Amino acid sequence: MLQPPPAEPGMREEEVDTPALLLDLDAFEHNLDAMAALLAPTGTKLRAHAKTHKSPVIALRQMARGAVGQCVQKVAEAEALAWGGVPDILVSNEVIAPRKLARLAALARIAKVAVCADTEAGIARIEQAAEAAGLRLTVLVEIDVGAVRCGVPPGPPAVALAERIAASPHLIFGGLQSYHGKAQHRRAPEERAALIAGAAEDTRRTVEQCRQRGLACAIVGGAGTGTFAHEAGSGVWTEIQAGSYIFMDADYARNAAPPPFRQSLFVLAQTMSVQAGRAVLDAGHKALPLDSGFPLVEGRPGAAYVSASDEHGTLTGEGLPALGEKVRLIPGHCDPTVDRYDWYVGVRGGRVECLWPVAARGGMA
């Protein structure tokens, strides 16, 4: 069941029902503009990652500032975007299941879509789906440049897959997917720089080896909010896939030399119990996933969110909120937090300005 929106346009922020996913529109728009300004001189394009926001409304706002399209991780996310008017979508991930590939091929009739592969068997499945749908699908080879997750090793193994794609009658070789996820949250800036320098060398070599076989990499995609300046400045990547920059979170704020963006995403919570030395909020780890740690309390430097159960979060320290008072929390990790909510509540100047659906909420398939 879809949850009803926790607010209506025109309400004051303190009237919003809790827990709610707040989007500070001034900070959000600042971030959109800042990324566009940072990338413009590099000549590298933005293909923002929709795994973060899951919203065609936000995708189209990114594209209005120059983004060439969107990335997604799941076919369900691609559907929500394409159905919401997003014209160019890359699944920056492998898709193996025939049902999912059939859905992706169906989307290729209303949007430009591409997908990644890292095995011969995976390529064969995409070829089958494209043939069955009577169209051609664009496929990128994902290379592992240090994340140790999906991706074939750079160099000859990647080139072999590129050739296999190019030789498939219903596939188009689209380039390389080269994302170093583990580099994004390394705390020291020099460590992030070194990891991306290594990834750049691996990627450059693979692009060159493809070129020697007559295979042009139209897209070389990768990068995230923690490292994008390195990829954009390398001359190797053509598209930056940052997602979190629009929202930010407590984990990115812990990086030394953190990314130059403002915190725009909050969970609004209410104090539902005040007992000796603690205030208990109505937002626990169902409202604020813990994979990157506890949230921070906005505007109350002496108060700390120190424990979470399913539906409760406990604050201790100085300047605790009174019973019934509402506080803005900065999520530990923006992506999974957004995915807990059905609605963004857009706020500006203390008032609710808009409600946007988290259209691909729960879209894991």
Residues that bind a copy of itself (CB under 8 A): 1-3, 6, 17-19, 51, 73-74, 76, 80, 93-97, 99-100, 118-119, 121-122, 125, 144, 148-152, 181, 270-275, 278, 280, 282-283, 285-287, 289-291, 308-312, 314, 323-324, 335-336, 339-342, 357, 359-365
268: nearest Cα among 316, 319, 315, 329 = 329
Q: Minimum CB separation from a copy of itself for residue 40, in Å?
A: 29
Residues facing 316 on adjacent strands? 304
C-alpha triplet 161, 221, 290: angle, nearest 5°: 110
Q: Minimum CB separation from a copy of itself for residue 33, in Å?
A: 26
Which residue lies nearer to a copy of itself by CB, 118 or 231? Answer: 118
129: nearest Cα among 156, 158, 91 = 91
Which residue lies nearer to a copy of itself by CB, 47 or 54? Answer: 54
* Alpha-carbon Rg for the chain in angstroms: 21
Which residue lies nearer to a copy of itself by CB, 31 or 337? Answer: 337
Cis before 6 (ω within 30): no
Q: Minimum CB separation from a copy of itself for residue 181, in Å?
A: 6
Q: Phi first, then psi: give them for residue 185, nearest 5 degrees.
A: -110, 10
Which token pair is 277? 């030395």
Which residue lies nearer to a copy of itself by CB, 38 or 360? Answer: 360
Which residue lies nearer to a copy of itself by CB, 2 or 41? Answer: 2
Which residue lies nearer to a copy of itself by CB, 14 or 191? Answer: 14
Q: Minimum CB separation from a copy of itself for residue 270, in Å?
A: 6
81: nearest Cα among 304, 357, 315, 333 = 357
Which token pair is 49? 């990652």
Q: Minimum CB separation from a copy of itself for residue 79, in Å?
A: 9
d(CA 265, CA 53): 10
Q: Minimum CB separation from a copy of itself for residue 67, in Å?
A: 20
Q: Phi first, then psi: give them for residue 210, nearest 5 degrees.
A: -65, -45
CA distances from 21 to 16, 117, 260 (A): 10, 34, 22
Which residue lies nearer to a copy of itself by CB, 39 or 159? Answer: 159
Q: Minimum CB separation from a copy of itself for residue 182, in Å?
A: 9
